[in-house]
Structure 1
Amino acid sequence: MFWLKVYKFLGIVFFELFKFYLLISGKSSEFNSLRMGSFPDFPKSRIWVHSVSVGELKAVIPFIKELKKRKYKIVLSVGTRAGFKLAKSIYGKDASVFVTVIPFDCVKTVKIFLNKLKPTAVFFVETELWPLFIDECKKKSIPLFWLNGRVSDRVFKSKGIYRIALSWMIPQFDLCLMRSLEDLRKASLISSSGHYGNIKGVCLGDIKYDKPFRKPTLKRSDFGIRDEKIIVLGSSHEGEEKIAFSLFEKLLKKFKNLKLIIAPRKLERIEHIKKILSNRKVLNWSNLNKGNKEMFDVLMIDEMGTLSQIYSIADIALIGGSWVKRGGHNPIEPCFFGIPTIFGPSMENFREVAGDLINSGGAISASEYELLDIVENLLSDDSKRKEVGLLGLEAVNSRKGISKRMINEVEFLL
């Protein structure tokens, strides 16, 4: 395949360029060393699970827990610094789970990695698919699975090289465990368009429903908050902070003690966001965490990995990425705490989950122009707010057990 030859060549070029960059910049670290192929001695004969970053890592925690129950040993790899940090904090002292970083998808590093690891089976999570790893796994007859498989609308509609690569990659999997029927349909159409073979796939649901409940570790008093109402905007993208702040300003006319908490998807945008909020008292979460309990109007979450617990103290949760064309983020997290959840029209990345929550009455879809009336009504009616939150919690709890069903489906190949 011509595209795969080109991909292999480009992989070598980028590998050498990044190697040179590290040499002249002096930016050596454990993360970069692992990316470049300086691997430790892996424990052998383990199942390899790869999730790229924090969101995917949190999603596979219950899946890994179920594997451990069945006495399997796991190597868990990630692809970002934030994911590596979180994985080490969760599994650093767990003898059943070895944490590492996936190397560059380059011929040299792929072969070294797989020869050292010798996995008994491989699971790639959601959209994190790498052609050379898939190719080498097939050559070595290693069982290969696509876990919680997801195909975005953007990829499905594209005509580029990734679409061609995907049409080859999908048939290579021994089984594709797709998160929704829509994802299974799109993967099947992409697979059949490439003439490399058909998908071997099933839909058992989204493993994000299996996220273990964590008792809230935060209290409103930690924020110096007592009776104030709290709106949390989670995983926001550029343009959504303006929408939330405009909503906040209008609501303050009726709800004098209202607080807004913003957790941007990208922390490097925080200083830019603060300029939008210049006429309000803004406090960073990291400062509050150090014991600074001065009053604030807007709290800015400037640390990764805290959003889930922040949702637990909210009165209303707004899901970022849904009022701009980013496909939305996970609406399940606030529902775990019984928090009324609202998202915009762009929820393509969680279409089936969003539909389930809306149909259950546990979440609301609202355009930018509908937000004010919906949020105002919920803030004014404590019983309605509680009802919506409980319906969301019931919807999430009723769909648990997906990780167990997935392992049952593939265990004969492990």
Structure 2
Amino acid sequence: MVHYLYSFVFRLILPFLLIRLWWIGRRSPELLAHWQDRLGLIPDTGKPVIWVHAVSVGETIAAAPLVKALLARRPHANILMTAMTATGRARAKALFGDAVTYAYSPYDSPGSVRRFLKRAHPQALVVMETELWPNMISRTAAAGVPIFLINARLSERSARGYQRVSGLVRSLLGKLNWIAAQADSDARRFVAIGAAEDQVSVTGSIKFDVDVTDALRADARALRSQLGRERRVWIAASTHEGEDQQILDAHSDILQKHPDALLILVPRHPERFDDVAALVRQQGLSMLRRSADKASDASQVYLGDTMGELMMLYGVADLAFVGGSLIERGGHNPLEPAAWAMPVATGPHVFNFADIYERLDRGGGVVKALDASTLAAAVNQCFDDPERAGTLGRNALAVVDANRGALERVVDGILQKLD
């Protein structure tokens, strides 16, 4: 009954979702491109695909090693990647080019999902993390397509939310063929909200299988040389509205002690690039933009306003602050800077990555800040004590290396079940 009510309400709000898409698209035209995908009107693939769904840029990055491994193990496989956001889709295209096919995932109305399935011809659906859309799951399962929830995580907050609609959630979980949980705590929560124990395996997080390539290292070295090799550099990555001002306040404090310091500031969403640039100017700080200006040592802020370059930009810095954590967004993935063997700084709100941050904390690879002043103090301490900063970075990398291997377990599990 709840599912039918959900579908009825979704049909009613669908026109308003399209109006909202048009409204937002006035500032972000890339959102309007391929808008038909949202209604399931994708080009017919003409052949069976492995459908990999990653809601946004974070999940897309996490899915990247999985997709690469699937292509390596099944060179003739056709992979269709979907995302809900323009940043997720753009990141996927930057990662894979013509090796895979892309589409926006359909809105979760019965008709949109039905049209999507008819054109996509999925032989399997791989869902990253915890994207349990009722019609996507139900109609895909009804078509006889196996569904794998990969890199699955479930915070205590999310579990409490799902328990409010326990009947619907239990039904959806019963349609999944496999849940590959990141940690024991995630697995226990999935079972608590209705998954069968034999559905759930603890594979670890494939995010630990991040790879810093030689090409990334070369690009990072070249940019660091242009920005000033001898100066102190920190990066604030994946920042949200409400954080940027705090970060700029922290940088102003840092400049009092280290006048040559550079902040690389990378907002999470491209539609905020211009707003953040205006905020930097209001702060009275000199700025260069990655997209428009030639890199030099003549600025206090370097705005990372391009897509698909965050991993490289991490390699330019001496310390990384990972955003979404000074406000209650739950944080973002800290393992990419950790893989560069650099100190990782975070705010207090990291519930989306609690297990990963706990491992980094136990391993001595993360520093915590509560606000702008404590963030500035943490950055200054690392700048003033390179030996301590080096130890923090090596500890962070050690945590990454100690937890690698989930990717192979996940790919083995998917291919075994498909075969």
* Cα-to-partner distance string for 1:213-245 (whole Å, 9 max, x where unaligned): 232313345643231101111112233233323
* Structure 1 residue corresponding to 2:284, chosen from 255, 279, 286: 279
1:18/1:344 CA distance change after superposition, 3 Å: closer
CA distance in 1, matches of 2:253, 2:20: 49
Matched, 1:236 2:223: no
| 8 Å contact kept, 1:282–1:299 | yes
Match of 1:166 in 2: 169
Match of 1:107 in 2: 110
CA distance in 2, matches of 1:90, 1:353: 24
Secondary structure at the aligned position of 1:286 is classed as coil
TM-score (norm 2): 0.87
| 8 Å contact kept, 2:39–2:113 | no
Match of 2:122 in 1: 119
CA distance in 2, matches of 1:121, 1:285: 39
| Matching residue's letter, 2:138 | D
| 8 Å contact kept, 2:58–2:332 | no
Match of 2:37 in 1: 34
User: Where does 1:259-274 land on structure 2 (aligned, <5 Å)?
Assistant: 259-273=262-276, 274=278
CA distance in 2, matches of 1:101, 1:252: 43
| 8 Å contact kept, 2:154–2:190 | yes
Structure 2 gap ranges (5+)? none
Match of 1:403 in 2: 407
What is the CA-CA distance between 1:283 and the residue it aligns to?
Answer: 2.8
Match of 2:82 in 1: 77
Match of 1:93 in 2: 98
| Matching residue's letter, 1:315 | D
Match of 1:144 in 2: 147
| 8 Å contact kept, 2:287–2:300 | yes
CA distance in 2, matches of 1:305, 1:68: 20
CA distance in 2, matches of 1:178, 1:352: 12
* Structure 2 residue corresponding to 1:382, chosen from 386, 399, 404: 386
1:55/1:43 CA distance change after superposition, 3 Å: farther
1:296/1:163 CA distance change after superposition, 3 Å: farther
* Cα-to-partner distance string for 1:288-307 (whole Å, 9 max, x where unaligned): 2xx26472112222223222
Match of 1:191 in 2: 194
Deviates more, 1:205-214 or 1:275-284: 275-284
1:235/1:107 CA distance change after superposition, 3 Å: same
Match of 2:159 in 1: 156
CA distance in 1, matches of 2:42, 2:241: 38
CA distance in 1, matches of 2:284, 2:10: 48
* Cα-to-partner distance string for 1:352-384 (whole Å, 9 max, x where unaligned): 111111222222233335434432221112222
1:87/1:410 CA distance change after superposition, 3 Å: closer
* Structure 2 residue corresponding to 1:255, chosen from 255, 258, 270: 258
Secondary structure at the aligned position of 1:138 is classed as helix
Matched, 1:336 2:339: yes
1:73/1:292 CA distance change after superposition, 3 Å: closer
CA distance in 2, matches of 1:137, 1:238: 36
Match of 1:14 in 2: 13
* Cα-to-partner distance string for 1:178-202 (whole Å, 9 max, x where unaligned): 112222222222227xxxx667211
What is the CA-CA distance between 1:158 and the residue it aligns to?
Answer: 2.8
| 8 Å contact kept, 2:51–2:126 | yes
- What is the RMSD computed on CA atoms of the aligned residues? 2.8
What is the CA-CA distance between 1:131 and the residue it aligns to?
Answer: 0.7
Matched, 1:348 2:351: yes
- Sequence identity of aligned pairs in percent? 27
TM-score (norm 1): 0.88
| Matching residue's letter, 1:174 | N
Secondary structure at the aligned position of 1:253 is classed as helix
What is the CA-CA distance between 1:162 and the residue it aligns to?
Answer: 5.9
CA distance in 1, matches of 2:14, 2:133: 15
Secondary structure at the aligned position of 1:263 is classed as strand
CA distance in 1, matches of 2:17, 2:175: 29
What is the CA-CA distance between 1:136 and the residue it aligns to?
Answer: 1.4
CA distance in 2, matches of 1:373, 1:90: 36
| Matching residue's letter, 1:12 | R
User: Where does 1:295-334 land on structure 2 (aligned, <5 Å)?
Assistant: 295-334=298-337
| 8 Å contact kept, 1:48–1:122 | yes
Secondary structure at the aligned position of 1:287 is classed as coil
1:239/1:45 CA distance change after superposition, 3 Å: closer
Match of 2:202 in 1: 203
